[in-house]
Amino acid sequence: MSANQLVLVIGGTRGTGLLIAHSLQRQGVPVRVLARNPQNARTRLGPSFELITGDITQQDTLLRALESATHVVFTAGWRSGRPAMEKHIRETEYGGVVNTLAAAQRVGFGGRFLYMTASSVTSRSWATVLLNLYKGNTLVWRERAEHEIRASGLEYTIIRAGILLNRPGGQRAVVVTQRPLPLSIRYRIARADVADVFVAALNHPRAVRSTFEVVWGDGPPRDSLPTLLDQLKPDAPLGAIR
């Protein structure tokens, strides 16, 4: 990590994104957070973060936030545990990614785009059918967002997280795998552990142009996160089936 970096966190006012922002700041990395409502964001984040007003559904509002950023961490999406119409999912979980990628290209962004999505985007089961019905085809649109990221020409890291829990991190072993996982209560992980994976992946050379899943394993923590990321392989060329 370096104080010469500037990480833009989109989705950094709550959930996993908020944990990532705080973790980076603790390590001395400058963090900029995109916020639709800066006053509410300041209450959650405190006075030490740089806040930029913007909305992922409005591409032009993203340009200033991206200027001089060396990395983008994108965790934004419809709030967990809430139903949604497909229109809203498409605008945020797909359109928001497309707008950010386009804005990044407009400002000449040359860093890495790290994206948080969900396990099961490429698997099909009764559980995924139910989730898509409840939440506006979220997995369909997230898979399409992944395709847009890979086709963007930017360096990227796509992290698919298991079912997210609001529990302390560092208590369980973390599994990093490039095998697609189904939507199952078996594959869970604390938001805090996912945040740590993002921080570890930020500059890890093996995470470039890589898609992988993170879930809890059995027992206490074993290998360090950089060691787990060492096993990664780059994604197949565009057009190949994952």
In a domain, 83, yes or no: yes
In a domain, 53, yes or no: yes
Among 92-101, 125-134, 191-200, the range scoring the smallest mean pLDDT is 125-134
In a domain, 115, yes or no: yes
Most confident range, picked from 30-44, 96-110, 114-128: 96-110
Q: What is the CATH number of the domain that holds 117?
A: 3.40.50.720
Separation of alpha carbons 108 and 59, rounded Å: 15
Per-residue model confidence as pLDDT tens digits over 176-225: 999 999 999 999 999 999 999 999 999 999 999 999 999 999 999 989 99
Dihedral angle computed from the Cα positions of residues 120, 125, 128 and 134, in that order, rounded to the nearest 10 degrees:
180
In a domain, 236, yes or no: no
Separation of alpha carbons 185 and 201, rounded Å: 25
pLDDT at 1: 61
> Percent of the chain beyond pLDDT 90?
87
Domain residue limits at 27 = 7-229
Confidence of residue 241 (pLDDT cuts 50, 70, 90): very low
Number of structural domains (the chain) is 1
Q: What are the E-state strand segments in 62-193?
A: 71-74, 112-118, 155-161, 163-165, 174-177, 188-190
| Number of other CB atoms surrounding residue 110 within 10 Å | 10
In a domain, 198, yes or no: yes
Mean pLDDT of the chain: 94
Characterize the bridge pairing of strands 112-118 and 50-53: unpaired
